[in-house]
Structure 1
Amino acid sequence: MTAAGRAKSAVKSGAKRLLERAGFHLVRSTTPRGGVNDFIPFEPTMRAARAAGLSVGDYIDEVMNGTPGATQSTVDELRTLGVFAAEPDTVLEIGPGSGRYLEKTLKECSPGRYEIYETAAPWASYLVETFGVVARPVTGFSLDATPDNSVDLVQAHKVFNTLTFLGSCRYFFEMARVTRPGGWIVFDVMTETCLDPEAMRVWATKGGAGHDSFPAAMPLRACVDLFGTLGCTLEAGFPAPLGVASTEVLVFRKTA
């Protein structure tokens, strides 16, 4: 093992010991996690992150999901694509959850207003208190507290693979509505590029309880064509890890 490998192993072992002292017992599993009834709990996650000496986002990536650096790699790719180059003044995020993408977004830009639509009240309160974001009321699949053409960057990460097809579509219409001309729309979906036969086999046979509707597939062409009718152009797409497989991050620009 290399020196870097030994160091990484030592960090993981230390984190595991700290978690066990805090009352958590970690076991390796090949079963995909994150079914629609398996939301990340607030208090246990906060305690475990503190015990591991990690930020909440890094704890979720490294320990819970087993994909260290996954969130940062997505944000790095968005930076390369120029999403943050114009310093968006208004950002809106659907389903920020623990705020792991929110936190890293705020390190890339300093918006005057950051709106969130989050259904988990403890996480929403934590994000408001910690980052000074504005929590909007969640009513169905609507962003109705946000005016038309008012947002520079609308994003949603690890959200639409947990929703029904029509639920996602309803959000798509709303995302296009609130985005300013020239603004960005960023989200990930499980397209056909993420569903090779082996990935389908793993999801189908090892998904376990709570995974009947997760992951939810979204045809890429249907998605691109819909946004095209809403004045938005696909600028780029790239893969991001999701459990045992991957999801595809789509980056749109509103042109009209």
Structure 2
Amino acid sequence: MTAADRAKSAVKSGSKRLLERAGFHLVRSTTPSGGVDDFIPFEPTMRAARAAGLSVGDYIDEVMNGTPGATQSTVDELRALGVFAAAPDTVLEIGPGSGRYLERTLKECVPSRYEIYETAEPWADYLVVTFGVIAQPVTGFNLDATPDNSVDLVQAHKVFNTLTFLGACRYFFEMARVTRPGGRIVFDVMTETCLDPEAMRIWATKGGAGHDSFPAAMPRRTCVDLFTTLGFSLEAAFLAPLGVAFTEVLVFKRDA
């Protein structure tokens, strides 16, 4: 082992010890197809956030992701675009996780119904108890429990960058199905807008080992063309922080 290798090993071991002291354990994915290897465990995250005197969302932004204010900046952009001024009465969120976008959404509007599709059961239970949302059963890449044309705002944040191309596409069709005429769909994807040569270099060198399927790229034109054929118009787009770089948030509105 060279001196450089020994130094890298020492840094890695030291980082692991610091995370474990905070209650986190790095877990290697056992799925043959790979994927995001690390996850956000419920109990350790809650304990660490309380110890830091931060909300769960702020703790994830500031400490775990190293991007203070990232969640709020996205919500601020959506507010400026008038997404919440439309006073959505029914909201559906795919993969809310810790609820950091959910919590801020509820500060911007007062829907009578907020549905979530979340695979992590402890987080889903926490969101139901804390925010009174409705946790729908997750069965594949669909929104089966939600009727057609029934939702004013469908959103997914930091979700499709972790899914396969086909998984994301299947959700896209479902999101379009459940959105009411005049309703909106908001989500972020890793488009070519986010992948200039410098961004690619950053992801390749600083993105972390074992994350070869993350972030998953999605052509921007593919999204826009698909939703156009489904009766939606692209209202706006903007960049939002994601790890060491950015992702692109797309805002679609269904034709009335």
Task: Please say if 1:61 is aligned against 2:61.
Answer: yes
Q: Name the structure 1 match of 2:171.
A: 171
CA contact (8 A) 2:206 2:244 kept: no
Task: Please say if 1:24 is aligned against 2:22.
Answer: yes
Q: Deviations over 1:79-116 (max 9, x none)?
A: 11010112111000000000000000000011100000
The percentage of aligned residue pairs carrying the same residue is: 86
What is the Cα-based RMSD across aligned positions, in Å? 1.6
Task: Please say if 1:180 is aligned against 2:187.
Answer: no
Q: Name the structure 1 match of 2:50.
A: 50
Q: Name the structure 1 match of 2:102.
A: 102
Q: Name the structure 1 match of 2:136.
A: 136
- State the AA in 1 paired with 2:22: F
CA distance in structure 1 between the partners assigned to 2:98 and 2:176 by the alignment: 25
Task: Please say if 1:92 is aligned against 2:92.
Answer: yes
CA distance in structure 1 between the partners assigned to 2:234 and 2:210 by the alignment: 32
CA distance in structure 2 between the partners assigned to 1:168 and 1:115 by the alignment: 19
Q: Name the structure 2 match of 1:6.
A: none
Structure 2 SS opposite 1:205: helix
CA positional deviation for 1:236: 0.2
TM-score computed with the length of structure 2 as normaliser: 0.86
- State the AA in 1 paired with 2:240: A
Q: Name the structure 2 match of 1:3.
A: none
CA contact (8 A) 2:150 2:180 kept: yes
Q: Name the structure 1 match of 2:113.
A: 113
Structure 2 SS opposite 1:72: helix
- Number of aligned residue pairs: give it: 228
CA contact (8 A) 1:91 1:151 kept: yes
CA positional deviation for 1:25: 9.0
CA contact (8 A) 1:38 1:210 kept: no
Q: Which has the higher contact order (CA 8 A, sep 6+)?
A: 1
- State the AA in 1 paired with 2:230: L
CA distance in structure 1 between the partners assigned to 2:161 and 2:66 by the alignment: 19
CA contact (8 A) 2:62 2:68 kept: yes
Q: Name the structure 1 match of 2:155.
A: 155
CA distance in structure 2 between the partners assigned to 1:139 and 1:130 by the alignment: 24
- State the AA in 1 paired with 2:117: Y
Gaps of 5+ in 2: 1-17, 25-34
Structure 1 SS opposite 2:140: coil
- State the AA in 2 paired with 1:195: L
Gaps of 5+ in 1: 1-19, 27-34
1:220-239 equivalence runs, <5 A = 220-239=220-239
CA distance in structure 1 between the partners assigned to 2:231 and 2:45 by the alignment: 40
